[in-house]
Chain A
Amino acid sequence: MNYFTLPIEEWTNRFVDDWLLPVTGDFFDSISDSLRTFVDGVTNLLLITPPEVLVLILVLIAWKFSGKGLALFVLLGSLYLGSVELWEAAMQTVAIVIVSTLISVIIGIPVGILAATNKTMANIVRPILDFMQTLPSFVYLIPAILLFGLGNVPAVIATFVFATPPAVRMTTLGILQVPADVVEASKAFGSTKWQLLYKVQLPLAMPSIMAGINQTMMLALSMAVIASMIGAPGLGSVVLEGISTVNVGLGLTGGLGIVVLAIVMDRITQGLVRKK
């Protein structure tokens, strides 16, 4: 099948070396700086707060939105993280997850709304989302390093790419699922587009949007672990260390910590959906 040669590798590299880095470098540096400030800020906040206070707050939240079971699990899970000396690593992971989920949601929900209300936008967004979801994550880890350096900033960027699609898709789905006669009724009484959106469509799409946020958070957690390969601190790096030193025990210790975080985050956000 080799009829002609397509030098994608060469083109891409020349594009990155000759244009992307020299021309946009400063721009990406400034993004990088502000993101770093943000992630570090959240990490520090989580680490400065005494773990006991944080755990108490989490237990109460778990109790309110889910129930006694989860509250107990939060307590036991936190004791576990403390006892294996992974509290700090866990908080670093949580910080990356929180920041990237926030960015995913802040960008994803409006894009989802646009895609639901505008056909052209939907046609543009759909292939981009497909691309984001199917492209192997390692492929965009490389340019992430080039543009944002090592550490938690490229981790947040890579996580954003990986975790945003469900937020967009579930928002679009939720809005499109609002019954047509309800939308018609809203219009017939003279709603502006904006009133239709925030008085009718968004409230009715909320369960779907919350499910999207839940999925985004779960994906962000799994990506935050992979992102340890590009130097992101946290539980992922513990697992990575376990792999590289063939230390099964260390790998399991870190892995269990990730499971604890996953269960707590999932149940709390699901509880939020049900309370709505």
Chain B
Amino acid sequence: MKKIEVNNLTKIFGSNPQQGLKRLLNGDQKEDILAETGMTVGVNQASFSVEAGEFFVIMGLSGSGKSTLIRLVNRLIEPTSGEVLIDGQNIVEMGKNDLIETRRKKLGMVFQQFGLFPHRTVLQNVAYGLEIQGVKKEERNKRAQKSIEDVGLQGYEQSYPKELSGGMQQRVGLARALANDSDILLMDEAFSALDPLIRKEMQDELLNLQNKLGKTILFITHDLDEALKLGDRIAIMKNGEIVQVGTADEILENPANEYVSNFVKDVDRSKVLMASHVMKKPAVHMMDKSGALAAVRKMEDAGASSIFVVDKENNFKGLLTIDNAIDAYKKDMAIETVLIEDIHEISPDTPLNDLFGVAVEAKYPLAVVENGKLLGIVSRVSILSGLVLGKEEVTTL
């Protein structure tokens, strides 16, 4: 089910937005409109939809219109044209009371600079949304208390925002958005003001919370790594337009245009998993005097139907399957003659993403070879677990 649906949403700042809109629809460029009329196109005919329970990230550099876009979704900024459907209802055409009701019941928001009320305690901040709905004090404090616990801030209920660190303040911001129990969370650069360690911690906790609570999240960021980590799907914005929407893999592998590929090129290489991160030490058969029978025993010990063969210097020779080994033993042939040699050899710094295709087609595990020496093997299972677990977990295994 679509929770948020945005169709042709446009925002033009300036003296005569309707005229600007006409020019935009005629295909005029944003730059020309600015130069000739002084009007700024903030968001240009953006369309996307967010499914219930989805984590949808909008990513763009500053000035790309992403913060304007998220404010159009809850109408903190009035759209010039287009529609925003929240649970199928067009928020753009709502009257004042319906709009307020929708904001209260369906949309929570978290801000980059936290936007906490400095004159209220943590508890009063978190309870604010319920307070303005007229929820009785006892009830609203109970619900606020629960979301304070959800974000791990118990004990700080009576503190004022200025007494808390940035990370804790944003927890208050998150708790405040959760307390209303709305299905949708709008998060505007929510973690951008935090230092990297706290930021990672908050990202992890947000993912946990989303798993637990199943919120639909619309998350704005300028950080591609953050987008890749958090987003089920990512929309990339440039100059007020959405240039690509897709999963992290789709965007990494098929950038829609040069802008996106430039973005993607900057992905921190150290965060990309490589073959050496996921390879395992294989059971190997050393090619010496011992013959085919010793190789069969080794396979039995390892419970494998094939074994990688190296020479004394650990130079990779090939793969010996159990059938071939038995065959060689019966016919009393040397192992060399039955080795499968056209095994996929990959270098240790091959990115995991590039291994997908190869691994799917290969019948046997991939051999990680450097300067002719066998370093390890990569199985299909280890590629997948590497992708699921991420770098830290794999390397610490």
Contact = CB atoms under 8 A, between A and B. Distances in A.
Nearest to A195: B132
B55 interface: no
A187 B117 CA distance: 12
A199 B124 CA distance: 11
Nearest to A183: B115
B181 to A, nearest CB: 12
B119 A203 contact: yes
Contacts of A179: 113, 115
A181, A188, A203 interface centre (most CB from chain B within 10 Å): A188
B219 interface: no
B306 interface: no
B218 interface: no
A190 B111 contact: no
Contacts of B57: none
Contact of A190 (B115, B118, B133): B133
Interface stretch (B81-89, B97-105, B227-235): B97-105
A124 B263 CA distance: 50
B108 to A, nearest CB: 8
A145 B330 CA distance: 131
A191 B132 contact: yes
B35 interface: no
Contacts of B101: 190
Given A181-B115, A182-B117, A204-B119, A188 B100 contact: no
A190 B113 contact: no
Contacts of B102: 190
A185 interface: yes
Contacts of A191: 100, 132
Given A199-B132, A203-B119, A188 B109 contact: yes
B245 to A, nearest CB: 25
Interface string B109-133: 1011111111100000000110111
A46 to B, nearest CB: 35
A187 B118 contact: no
Interface in B70-95: 71, 74, 76
B107 interface: yes
A118 interface: no
Nearest to B130: A189
Interface in A93-136: none
B101, B104, B115, B119 interface centre (most CB from chain A within 10 Å): B115
Interface in A185-209: 185-192, 195, 199-200, 203-204
Judged by DSSP, the binding face of A is helix
B253 to A, nearest CB: 36
Interface of A: 179, 181-182, 184-192, 195, 199-200, 203-204
A12 B380 CA distance: 97
B244 interface: no
A185 B71 CA distance: 11
Contact of B109 (A189, A192, A204): A189
B132 A181 contact: no
Given A184-B71, A188-B109, A199-B132, 13 more contacts: A181-B112, A181-B114, A182-B115, A182-B117, A184-B76, A185-B111, A188-B103, A189-B103, A189-B108, A189-B129, A190-B103, A190-B104, A203-B119
Given A181-B111, A181-B113, A195-B132, A189 B119 contact: no
Contact of A192 (B76, B100, B115, B176): B100
A203 B125 CA distance: 14
B44 interface: no
A191 B107 CA distance: 13
B10 interface: no
Contacts of A185: 109, 111, 115-117, 176
7 contacts: A184-B76, A187-B103, A188-B103, A189-B103, A190-B105, A199-B131, A200-B117
B28 to A, nearest CB: 30
B252 to A, nearest CB: 33
B180 interface: yes
Nearest to A189: B129
Interface in B122-164: 128-129, 131-133
Contacts of A195: 132
Given A189-B103, A192-B100, A182 B118 contact: yes
Given A185-B109, A185-B111, A203-B119, A190 B100 contact: yes
